[in-house]
Structure 1
């Protein structure tokens, strides 16, 4: 392996920048960029490698490098740091999961392409002439530094590398084997080559840039650290600290920028979809200053706005109004209306709508948004497009993870193989993986659902769990008609007659027991479902369904929003529910395991005796 040559640069005392120098730099850089582009067109030195293979996805990690994202700069220059992180967020897509064949060159600029604003790059920070200046796509050097360091650790060859002439305040000196590698479009490049095939992985956590190199073979050459030497100083002397345009006292300088007050920790955005009173209360109490992004409340009867929803939640004083993407909301409403009566396709249309909302929300995020409060259904889509990278994530978890949902449906399908509704839909494996990856980076998980807390504790152990109290309806607002008590007990099934809601377990538990059954929702397509039960009444979600009820049952396999059961609890009606309903610890609820018919029957009998 050819060892990278020591880089010698001359460091001069800092001088205030002049316009004539800036013009001279601009002209020279454009000429050099044009000449380099011409050379690469005539005789390309590298190619762009697509992320189209997973051949080395399980290969051992040859080298890894971690660098802080938010702590390597002055607090009063936060806008430039936020811009840097955003640019890394955009650039990561070009480098992550790239596999390079043996003997081939990976060029930083060939792989990334031109960093233009139309690609999503924003103003970040760049070291130029001893100053930290705002520049489009500034901050990409942190990625090139990480790539160069990991490549040297893996024993790779640095075909081309250039070093900085100054360092960022708070960033500290490069220590140990860390390699300095600056880049500037397109002629100041970083090029890496290895004798074996290798895979590059780039990740942005909430606080760090993590770069890994994987390969089947061990490094082919011993590690030799690359050091920098400056002609005017000793080899061990430190690089000078660059002055920042947002914090420099040279207010007469043409590059000086006024400070922007965004707070030391940036801004918080709440990306919302489905409204619940528990999450609404959490946002009011914990994040009143968060900028809300929420769907437009559209419905077929457009002249009647829904009685509840995020549009009904007031915005705190001094906070920007909630942003509502009309186009995505309208597209989703029409799409879901189109597929509303096809069970499997209906669920797919819900996921499509969530994806469109997530894309619209991500386009409205600013680099200064360092913390996101995200509704769980939007997580996998935001993970796919990289909007979660480099941010602290608080998850409003209103459902079980998709991995657990599909596992439970598969188990129920094995128990009831004749029920097609248990197999009518499964999410794409890539979407399930994206949700798991997003949950694995969450800092806090917030939910009122006891079963969700338990499952996410295993799937996202790094996240702090916070369980909210269920919001019970006002008992005074619940009208429960006084009816003459019947000899046969009345069991209310608090859902539509679906297998995933436990309808088949309830039908089995009621066999041979003289009782009446009231189904709150719609009837089943299986006419034999309630066979053997004397009296069955379907309410179709209308009327006083609690009137005369002795017990309310919901032995569901999947239930994320047990609002009907909460209404029964508030009215003082005994409830028998499975653990999947997430009501553990709630007074008046007897909890059973999903699918346990014997336990369900015993709990129903006990509840009827006590009512």
Structure 2
């Protein structure tokens, strides 16, 4: 290992004036730039001599060979929060670039080759950095917590340490106090190691911890020469935020802390608005007036144009959700350690590594993708179920959403079926909200059935068609989309009244396989109408006036409609 670090730091920060501080900073910058060019030249020579750096990404379920878990939020003083939050943001950004890196036999892991330059343009922000004996604010500061963890797992896995540099000072509570540390500074202070077996690096953040693992199919052999661990106590570092030297160029004064809770608003869900308002959380914007980017608008317009092509329409809707999540994320302050987001944005935020180091509350505006696929798989073989077969999300999105759900501190939903499904799969942090009930309103009852959905298989339209044919019941259909032309042929269709769609309606029926927001069913119950639905609609089974039938059971649906019609004639 070559010692290419700058000159040793003094034992204590020397008092300096305004000009002296700037001259020292200029001297450090010149020395650092010279060392960077030396590193670039040495890397070219190493590549010429056959050194290969790890660059391939993959996923792995191999056994864990080494693990290091360290806390993220170690500083709780209000004036220290911005830099601590910046450190966590930098760890979040770096871990997303490092996670899944494959280190094959004959390859060398390099911290900086894997992560790249820590610049603002690449998403890094000011964080806490140890430099020349002081904890200062620096772009990309805080990455040493990640390099310390990588060094620890490399040692535990028996790796050959190619390059490693210890800190000159010890941060209280860090790996440096135990001698298991490795400082890094772009690009000349690097951490490099190699192993004789293939391993995959796993680096991620949960709400409170940085988790680094090495996974491998077979246990790596221990290094023939164990890496020496320095046990001598190093002097503690001086914190820039508490420093009294006002003339120092690096001194960081106190600054206001940004909002700690960030909410991504959702329109049309008063249940979530009520929950947020009850906790005194202020929304910057809500409802349809929330800023919409050009990318999101284009995809939503394209989805409308593809309404007769379900698969393509679904891809555009997903892309619009991702664009909205990205636009919102750009406005989230780095100090925000709590996010409240809809499930539609979860996969994209997980993919971008935005959830690590934060407490996440998920608003379930729809079923989880895993649950949705299970609901649709049972009917995908039906001849009229083209929409069911095409209403699918990519596997990576399903896995990313599920991983984020399992890591959330709270999952909110008024949907009883969604809550039950999540709880049976080990998500005990589910909070069941009450549906927002419309005010009671009189209704001019009649003999027409209202089907408040489009004529699609996932809404139970084929089963309802067979039941109406058997009983000869008139039907009013709310939606325009249909599985095929002439879908309701042979059934008396009643047009809805333009001024009052409830005029002449005697019952509401929705035998859906998938229903996320049963607003029309709630309105029907508020008007005192009998409502026939499936458990997939998410209503409380104990609701007066509600009758539940199994999804896909035409016989049970026909019987329920017959008994409802008979009671209306009494």
TM-score by length of 2: 0.90
1:1-40 alignment to 2 at 5 Å?
A: 12-16=11-15, 19=21, 20-40=23-43
Deviation, structure 1 residue 172: 5.0
What is the CA–CA distance in structure 1 between the aligned matches of 2:151 and 2:75, rounded to whole Å?
Answer: 19
Aligned to 2:245: 250
Q: Deviation string for 1:333-381 (max 9, x for gaps)?
A: 4333432343332222111111111222222222112111111111111
Deviation, structure 1 residue 119: 0.8
Structure 1 residues 240 and 155, CA, compared in 2 at 3 Å: closer, same or farther?
same
What is the CA–CA distance in structure 1 between the aligned matches of 2:214 and 2:483, rounded to whole Å?
Answer: 54
What secondary structure does 2:434 align onto?
Answer: coil
Aligned to 2:316: 349
1:438-477 alignment to 2 at 5 Å?
A: 438-459=404-425, 461=427, 464-476=429-441
Check if 1:387 corresponds to 2:354. Answer: yes
Check if 1:270 corresponds to 2:236. Answer: no
Structure 1 residues 226 and 137, CA, compared in 2 at 3 Å: closer, same or farther?
same
What is the CA–CA distance in structure 1 between the aligned matches of 2:39 and 2:77, rounded to whole Å?
Answer: 35
Check if 1:112 corresponds to 2:115. Answer: yes
Paired residues, number: 556
Aligned to 2:4: none
Check if 1:64 corresponds to 2:67. Answer: yes
What is the CA–CA distance in structure 1 between the aligned matches of 2:553 and 2:483, rounded to whole Å?
Answer: 23
Structure 1 residues 527 and 38, CA, compared in 2 at 3 Å: closer, same or farther?
closer
Unaligned 5+ segments in structure 2 are 2-7
What secondary structure does 1:417 align onto?
Answer: coil
Q: Is the 8 A contact 2:87 2:140 kept in 1?
A: yes
Deviation, structure 1 residue 329: 4.0
Deviation, structure 1 residue 577: 0.8
What secondary structure does 1:556 align onto?
Answer: coil
What is the CA–CA distance in structure 1 between the aligned matches of 2:266 and 2:295, rounded to whole Å?
Answer: 12
Deviation, structure 1 residue 498: 1.5
What is the CA–CA distance in structure 2 between the aligned matches of 1:133 and 1:597, rounded to whole Å?
Answer: 69
What secondary structure does 2:375 align onto?
Answer: helix
Structure 1 residues 268 and 223, CA, compared in 2 at 3 Å: closer, same or farther?
farther
Check if 1:208 corresponds to 2:216. Answer: no
Check if 1:579 corresponds to 2:546. Answer: no
Deviation, structure 1 residue 518: 2.3
What secondary structure does 1:365 align onto?
Answer: coil
Aligned to 1:607: 564
Q: Is the 8 A contact 2:170 2:177 kept in 1?
A: no
Q: Deviation string for 1:467-509 (max 9, x for gaps)?
A: 2211122334x6x346xx5xxx432222222211111122233
Aligned to 2:97: 94
Deviation, structure 1 residue 394: 0.8
What secondary structure does 1:512 align onto?
Answer: helix
What is the CA–CA distance in structure 2 between the aligned matches of 1:186 and 1:222, rounded to whole Å?
Answer: 26
What is the CA–CA distance in structure 2 between the aligned matches of 1:518 and 1:340, rounded to whole Å?
Answer: 21
Deviation, structure 1 residue 455: 2.0
What secondary structure does 1:440 align onto?
Answer: helix
Deviation, structure 1 residue 11: 7.5
Deviation, structure 1 residue 140: 0.8
Unaligned 5+ segments in structure 1 are 3-8, 230-234, 295-308, 312-321
What is the CA–CA distance in structure 2 between the aligned matches of 1:47 and 1:69, rounded to whole Å?
Answer: 32
Q: Is the 8 A contact 2:514 2:536 kept in 1?
A: yes
Of 323, 330, 334, the residue aligned with 2:297 is 330
TM-score by length of 1: 0.84
Deviation, structure 1 residue 63: 0.7
Q: Deviation string for 1:2-60 (max 9, x for gaps)?
A: 9xxxxxx8972454465143333222222112222222223338544334444xx1321
Q: Deviation string for 1:420-472 (max 9, x for gaps)?
A: 2322332222222221122122111111111111222245626x211221112
